[in-house]
Amino acid sequence: MPRKGRRPSRSIVLRRWLAVGALVLVALLYYRPLKAYIDARGQLAQHQHMVQQLRADKAMLEHRLGSSTSIATLAREARALGYVRPGERLYIVKGINHWRKLQRASMMARGGH
């Protein structure tokens, strides 16, 4: 003969449902702060990476600044900007890229490298 299971009393069922409801309420109350915390951690990681990159850029710029105080470096940078020394003449040559293409084409036609 199968045993008949006893049905739990109403008060026990009610307590169980109240416990489940309390757990759901606690989960709902913790959702937003937990989501904000996780988002803030992600932003913090991004900002830390950005700060690390900026520190590397700063170190490189400080190195360039330290090396740019020599006369030779300043002269090289000035020439790159188009400055000339007193007594020199500035010549602007146009069409260099076209000339280079023609030179390459003629070298290839002759079988050169």
Residue-wise pLDDT for 101-112, tens only, equals 999 999 988 876
Q: What is the pLDDT of residue 77?
A: 81
Q: Is the pLDDT of residue 2 over 90?
A: no
Q: Is the pLDDT of residue 19 over 90?
A: yes
Question: What is the distance between the alpha carbons of residues 32 and 26, in angstroms, rounded to a whole number?
Answer: 11
Q: What is the pLDDT of residue 67?
A: 72
Q: What would the two tokens of residue 42 be?
A: 């992600």
> How big is the CA angle at 72 (ends 67 and 76), to the nearest 5 degrees?
95
Average pLDDT across the chain, whole number = 87
Does residue 42 or residue 6 have the better pLDDT? Answer: 42
- Report whether 74 contacts 68 (CB < 8 A): yes
Q: What is the mean pLDDT of residues 12-27?
A: 92
Q: What would the two tokens of residue 112 be?
A: 């050169």
Q: What is the pLDDT of residue 3?
A: 59
DSSP state of 67: H
Question: What is the distance between the alpha carbons of residues 49 and 105, in angstroms, rounded to a whole number?
Answer: 47
Question: What is the distance between the alpha carbons of residues 4 and 1, in angstroms, rounded to a whole number?
Answer: 9
Q: pLDDT digits over 26-77, tens only?
A: 999 999 999 999 999 999 999 999 999 999 999 998 888 777 777 888 888 8
